[in-house]
Chain A
Amino acid sequence: SAVISQKPSRDICQRGTSLTIQCQVDSQVTMMFWYRQQPGQSLTLIATANQGSEATYESGFVIDKFPISRPNLTFSTLTVSNLSPEDSSIYLCSVEVGQSTDTQYFGPGTRLTVL
């Protein structure tokens, strides 16, 4: 498995501002994933971040709204820009570990509330 930390654990932000979420892993990983979980909903993949290249975004998610950085093999950031109340969600990063199982392990999540 992997130990993953996220900062901040929660935040309350004003409409129109931005929040940057950090994800740190205790080992080097090739791919990192960012998910959104809206209230009462399941997880939706935002993008996949590979070190040294631009992130790959899923349908419905764009780089201007969710810019991602991946400066090295243990760290990534997700910024949620121009916040609106609809962005209130839990944001989770994950990494894939295990050559045979390719299991994704998740960080503790960042709970964002937009007023």
Chain B
Amino acid sequence: AQKITQTQPGMFVQEKEAVTLDCTYDTSDPSYGLFWYKQPSSGEMIFLIYQGSYDQQNATEGRYSLNFQKARKSANLVISASQLGDSAMYFCAMREGRGYQKVTFGTGTKLQVIP
């Protein structure tokens, strides 16, 4: 079974609009971390946001927020006020347990921002 599922291969969003990228995960470990990364066409992986399984509040980092619904095992990324520079691949990832554990990545969503 897939540990991280991203069901949207591609998404379009109008500039200045908000967009939600979906991510569901599967784990039986009570301690885990969820991450979102952005990968522009240059290939680098840019860390965006982190959510811990015990965190009570949804994580936010500037225009990025993570809609964490633990019971549904979903960790959707919300990008507000989209910019042309947001066009990239976005990967959801999970680490089970604490410290120096393997991080598993989803298949990614390609976001294109339309002027």
Measuring CB to CB, which residues of chain A are less than 8 angstroms from any residue of chain B?
Answer: 1, 30-31, 33, 37, 41-45, 48, 58, 90, 92, 94, 96, 100-109, 111
Contact = CB atoms under 8 A, between A and B. Distances in A.
Given A30-B100, A31-B100, A43-B105, A103 B50 contact: yes
A49 to B, nearest CB: 11
Contacts of A96: 99-100
Contact of B43 (A41, A100, A109): A109
B103 interface: yes
Interface of B: 33, 35, 37, 42-47, 50, 52, 91, 95, 98-103, 105-108
Interface of chain A, main secondary structure:
strand
A104 B104 CA distance: 11
A53 B98 CA distance: 21
A18 to B, nearest CB: 21
A54 to B, nearest CB: 15
Contacts of A44: 105
B104 to A, nearest CB: 8
Contacts of B91: 42-43
7 contacts: A1-B47, A42-B107, A42-B108, A44-B105, A96-B100, A103-B50, A104-B95
